[in-house]
Amino acid sequence: MLVDAFGRTATDLRVSLTDRCNLRCSYCMPPEGLDWLPRPELLTDDEVVRLVALGVERLGVREVRYTGGEPLLRRGLPGIVRRTAALRPRPQISLTTNGIGLDRLAAPLADAGLDRVNVSLDTLDRATFERLAHRDRLDDVLRGLAAAGAAGLAPVKVNAVLMRGVNDHEAVPLLRYCLEHGYRLRFIEQMPLDAQHGWTRDGMVTADEILDRLGAAFALAPEDPGDRGSAPAESFLVDGGPAAVGVIGSVTRPFCGACDRVRLTADGQVRNCLFATDESNLRDALRAGASDDDLAERWRAAVRAKRAGHGIDDPSFLQPARPMSAIGG
């Protein structure tokens, strides 16, 4: 098992398949984009599946989520999902995406074994979408969401980041839209993971502010906290339920004590936290001919070194060098 020094067991593996993205969301990267990782440094499809299989079959991983960048840009994605679904014990398989191209790929991915999706949607206004993402692709995202629902990739979850003075007035419209379409909305506090290092605490819309905005239009009641487990979102029943909305307060309401996640970057580095400043290189060991036993022990050693928390409130906190697109959500 992947157990750290504080007794937490990592069973949820987030695997980044690429650092590339077809949007330029301002909380992630600059409008001109970034220097992408050279392709030879990226794990091949076979290497991804070997490491995922190691996690599932030998290290206790029960959920695999494929992320990016934008994972739909990975040509081999359906094959990777199909091979993951063939592992025993079969893990739950999910995908975090911006939704562009999901209208074409939702059905093939469901056929390959994908269980569900998380789709990023920060605004319902076309002009605001273009301002945030520097691309006019809102209609593509909405079509992708509809296709995911039609393909049975349920529950379809929607992730929204509110930015002060940009889209923070859209909390209520976003929730109404998701309720009408049967999507499960989760608001996420903006985190210090932008490539520009422009994040400020004052500029962040906090979990409390989000709940205040929603509370002006809906009756919110906390769901049983005992049902939350290691889930990052605090869940609230809307107008008595059964529909609910989630709020992920990564900064102001950290959930590090129950964290069960471990991350594998597109270039084969183990990361214990989005905000980690160190990594453990599995790719080079794998390519040098390391056995599964050796790779498993390297992975266990990496997780044993996991810190107690992300330390954002500590004066010594340093934003990680990698932006979100190069880590994987």
Tell me the three-class secondary structure of 139-160, residue by residue: HHHHHHHHHHHHCCCCCCEEEE
Coil, helix or strand for 1? coil
Query: What single-letter amino acid sits at 264?
Result: L
User: Residue 52 to residues 48, 65, 185, 259: CA-CA distances in angstroms?
Assistant: 6, 10, 28, 19
| pLDDT for residue 234 is more than 90 | yes
Closest to 79 (Cα-Cα) out of 17, 153, 146: 17
Work out the average pLDDT over 57-67.
Answer: 98
With cut-offs at 50, 70 and 90, classify the pLDDT of residue 317.
Answer: low
H/E segment holding residue 56: helix 45-58
pLDDT at 54 (0 to 100): 98
Burial class (CB in 10 A: 0-12, 13-18, 19+), 24: middle
pLDDT of 237 reads 97
On the question of pLDDT at 230 being above 80, the answer is no
pLDDT of 196 strictly over 80: no
What's the chain's average pLDDT? 91
pTM confidence score: 0.92
- Residue 92 CA to residue 81 CA, distance in Å, equals 11
**Residue 61 burial (10 A CB sphere; 0-12, 13-18, 19+):** buried
328 pLDDT band, cuts 50/70/90, is confident
Per-residue pLDDT at 1 exceeds 90: yes
- What's the rounded Cα separation, in Å, for the pair 319 and 251? 13
- Report the pLDDT value the prediction gives residue 52, as an integer from 0 to 100: 98
